Structure 1
Amino acid sequence: MATIKRVISAVSGGIDSAVSTLLLKNKGYEVIGVYMQNWDLLDEKGVCSSQNDISDAEWVCQKIGIPFHVVNFVKEYWLEVFSNLVNDYESGLTPNPDILCNRHIKFEAFYKHATEELGGDAISTGHYARTTFGEYLQNFDSTKGVHLLKARDERKDQTFFLSQIHQRALQRSIFPLGDMKKSAVKKFAAAEKFAPLLKKKESMGICFIGSRNFQEFISEYVTSHPGNFVDVDSGKIVGRHDGIHQWTIGQRSRIGGCKEPFYIVEKDPSTQNIYVAMGTRHPALYTDLVMTDTPHWIHSPPPQLVKDGVLDCDFRFQHTHSLLKCQVFCAHSGRLIIRLAKPLRAITPGQYAVLYLDEECLGSARITTPGPTLHALGVNSKGMELDCR
């Protein structure tokens, strides 16, 4: 049984990391605060609050009375997260940079820096999540491995974004907010005179985009190849677009003069065609089958899948979506085939199929393609129970 004494806490300048860091100090740990700088502001034309966040993070550490460091992971972020994001958009995929950032930056580069450069026994973040080692690694035993569990506050649960992290780092990760409600975190912050941070907006989306919309931002990095919007029902061209990277599956298109809006169904990088369907409940938007690449299991492959070849569990591919029952099958290639309990709207290649069993987040696999849509199968969806999330 290892002893945890020095904890390196990720401080972002926000309320969650401030409270989690103070909770660690109150528990008697030797705590060092570290702000991760992941984007080079000198290359950014938009507006980003990172410099203000650094000042807020330093203020938090001064108030708590702990050392403060800024570590530069710009190179790592560019190579492991942003370059992959650009490549995916060029290929017609819709990536999830938050999942990649946690895997490669917070729980790899930061973990390595914390343990090797700062002599930390563990790292801490303000994520709403829990592990089987307990809130402060009371039950730490690396020989058993650790399971990732949903937060007590399911509305704030962030295990979706942690579904690709490695076991080695997770075993040494502390999530002080895992058993707390967001309301309790805010109340605690106010009592500890962190009230100025309560006025800040919560971090949503990608900071370095600044005040611009995403289509404007990504067009600075991906060459635009104009193409056609093609109606899946008639096969006719119904409009033009400036590049497939600007659109994602399920998104409403800006095609005028129609009795109902068109929605994105499929993107073809080889022709630059985007196939669209009229109406948000069009059967071309729905499927109950998902194909993925090789999964990342956080602890180990689920015994049920290994023994029986099928796993009954829960699925989501968007953080805000509720869980959906599914059956998971392992293909000969090691990839997954996932059968959903009911047809789901806008399954998006490049996103992650995140799998849960009871309270545990088992891991995830990147979606390569949805299965045949109801439209392709000739199924009349009228009267069917569809998941319209």
Structure 2
Amino acid sequence: MSSLIRRVACGMSGGVDSAVSAFLLKQKGYEVLGVFMKNWDGRDETGFCSADEDREYAQYACSHLDIPFIEVNFEKDYWHNVFCELIEEYENGLTPNPDVLCNKHIKFNKFFNYVREELGADALATGHYAQSSAGPYLENLDTSKGVKLLKAADTLKDQTLFLSQISQKSLQRTMFPLGGLLKTQVKQMAVSAGMEKLAQKKESMGICFIGKRKFQSFLEEYIEPRPGEFIDIETGKVVGSHKGVQFWTVGQRCHLGGMPHAYYVASICPETQQILVAPGSDHPALYTDLFKAGPPHWIHSEPALLQAMHKQECDYLIQKMDSLTRCTLWKPFNGLEELEVHCSRTARAITPGQYAVFYLGDECLGSAKILSTGPSMFDLDNDPKDNDLDPDSHEIVESRV
């Protein structure tokens, strides 16, 4: 145990992962504080609120481990720093990532500062599946060298994508006790520690503020319907109508009655409320090999080659269940805080508003919000001029996005 770190605040979510993290910390001899964070009062029409249930489980874990249980409320901060941004992006036809935003603005900012300044904790610990170069308990911490965010040992549970906007300041005082473990090992530890109740609990997969309601019903409470048309990308004809771009995302299937084939969202225009749709789930209009993202957030430091040569090869990930894809990052010479991402292979349904997360080996370098996509394979097939573009020429490709 580091002599600089004695008191650790462990974020208690009510799940097995945070409970086992607290258990491991206590075994290591730390003074552990169990802290439950409430971000949303999401009671549905029946009066059910998942936060109440989560609190009960968190209290149970703290009681079982004989550590203090502390509750802190960040509903106001969550509303202003996360929820309002989400609603604005949905209104603009974007598809935001609430988990990335919550970790950036609340968990590793407001919450992190609270446990450090108000509770006097030397470090924050969470149940995330991630690792850092400082070690699971910051035993290798060297602030002069900085800390890198690394993938978890359990590649299926790795959560570095959601942590890709974390600040260096927070990372230097954050422990990930589960980073070197598999989920199966964590559940076994919970059972061995007498917390079978948590080991058997179903994992929470939804968005906290939606609860058990349908997504469209929830959005209708905050965004006025703005009817628009579905336009067939091949014929330019109207093939249906919708209640607003906020309910749709690129790649989503549109259930349009009376059509000979299924349609999928190819692109969204919030100014006109028109949605271009393509016939078939593998239509070339859904695929591209180029997009812009920014501003980039580098967790440790900007990659050396990108800084020196304005070009960097690495891997990227957008959705947790996707596989890593090789890409080349280009940083413009005009000083704009954005990146051109050239994919090694075409990708389906790259969605503005989502975060592109960049990796070099096991290191999560950081991420950038997707701003726009380049021409689709359908665009290129129907515009001979674009077929002559050199994909290795940064100056030419700049005009394609």
TM range (shorter): over 0.9
Corresponding residue of 2:283? 282
Relative to the length of structure 2, the TM-score reads 0.92
- The equivalent of 1:337 in structure 2 is 340
Q: CA distance change for structure 1 residues 44 and 364 in 2, over 3 Å: closer, same or farther? A: farther
Are 1:323 and 2:314 matched, yes or no? Answer: no
Q: For residues 133 and 379 of structure 1, do their structure 2 counterparts lie closer, same or farther at Cα, with a shift above 3 Å needed?
A: farther
Other-structure match for 2:395: none
Matched with 1:87 is: 88
The residue that corresponds to 1:204 in the other structure is 205
Listed one character per residue, the Cα deviations across residues 316-371 of structure 1 (whole Å, up to 9, x for unaligned) are 11111110000001023121000001000000000001000000000000000111
Instruction: State the match for 1:34 in structure 2.
Output: 35
Aligned amino acid, residue 288 of structure 1: D
- 1:2 deviates by 6.4
Q: Per the alignment, in what secondary structure is the counterpart of residue 165 of structure 1?
A: coil
CA distance in 1, matches of 2:122, 2:341: 38
1:44 shift after superposition = 7.4
Instruction: Give the AA of the match of 1:181.
Output: L
Tell me if the contact between 1:24 and 1:176 (Cα under 8 Å) persists in the aligned partners. yes
C-alpha change, 1:209 and 1:47, in structure 2 (3 Å) is farther
Count of residue pairs the alignment pairs up: 380
Q: 1:233 to 1:206 in 2, by over 3 A?
A: same
1:42 offset after TM fit, Å?
5.9
Q: Percent identity?
A: 51
Answer yes or no: is 1:372 the counterpart of 2:392.
Answer: no
The answer to whether the Cα contact below 8 Å between 2:20 and 2:190 also exists between their aligned partners in 1 is yes
Aligned to 2:365: 362
Q: Which residue of structure 1 lines up, in the alignment, with residue 391 of structure 2? A: none
Gaps of 5+ in 1: 381-389
Evaluate the alpha carbon distance shift between residue 45 and residue 228 of structure 1 in structure 2; reply closer, same or farther with a 3 A threshold: farther
Q: Secondary structure at the match of 2:253?
A: coil
Larger CA deviation: 325-334 vs 239-248: 325-334
Match of 1:233, as an amino acid?
E
Hey, what's the Cα distance between the residues in 2 that align with 1:21 and 1:71? 18
Greater CA deviation, 216-225 or 76-85? 216-225
CA distance in 2, matches of 1:242, 1:217: 14
Change (3 A) 1:299 1:241: same
**Partner residue in 1 for 2:159:** 158
Deviation of residue 199 (structure 1)? Answer: 2.7
| Structure 1 residues 16 and 150, CA gap change in structure 2 (3 angstroms) | same
Which of residues 346, 352, 356 in structure 1 aligns to 2:355? 352
Paired with 2:360 and 2:261, the residues of 1 have a C-alpha distance of 39
CA distance in 2 between counterparts of 1:64 and 1:127 reads 19
- Aligned Cα RMSD in Å? 1.4
Q: What SS does the aligned partner of 2:209 have?
A: helix
Counterpart of 1:345, as a letter, is R
Indicate conservation of the 8 Å contact 1:14/1:202, yes or no: yes
The yes-or-no answer on 1:306 pairing with 2:332 is: no
1:1-389 matched pairs, under 5 angstroms: 3-41=4-42, 47-331=48-332, 332=334, 333-378=336-381
Instruction: Assess, with a 3 A threshold, how the Cα gap between structure 1 residues 95 and 67 changes in structure 2: closer, same or farther.
Output: same
Contact 1:284 1:374 in 2 (8 A): yes
**Which piece of structure 1 moves more, 360-369 or 188-197?**
188-197
* Per-residue CA distance 1:39-92 (angstroms, 9 max, x = gap): 024687774311011011011001101111000000110011100000000111
CA–CA separation in structure 2 for the residues paired with 1:107 and 1:368: 24
Q: Which letter maps to 1:270?
A: E
The corresponding residue for 1:383 is none
- TM-score of the superposed pair, with normalisation by structure 1: 0.95
Distance 1:48 1:18 in 2: 21
| Separation in structure 1 between the aligned mates of residue 117 and residue 43 of structure 2, nearest angstrom | 29
The 10-residue stretch of structure 1 (212-221 or 26-35) with the greater mean CA deviation from structure 2: 212-221
Q: 1:46 to 1:282 in 2, by over 3 A?
A: farther
* Equivalent pair of 1:130/1:148 in contact (CA under 8 Å): yes
CA contact (8 A) 1:164 1:298 kept: yes
Residues 41 and 51, structure 2, Cα contact 8 Å, conserved in 1 = no
1:384 counterpart residue number: none
For 1:338, give the aligned amino acid: V
SS at match of 1:164: coil
Structure 2 vs 1, CA of residues 225 and 45 (structure 1 numbering), >3 Å: closer, same or farther? farther
Question: What's the offset of the Cα at 1:202?
Answer: 0.9
Task: Report the more deviating stretch, 38-47 or 202-211.
Answer: 38-47
**Gap runs ≥5 in structure 2:** 384-401
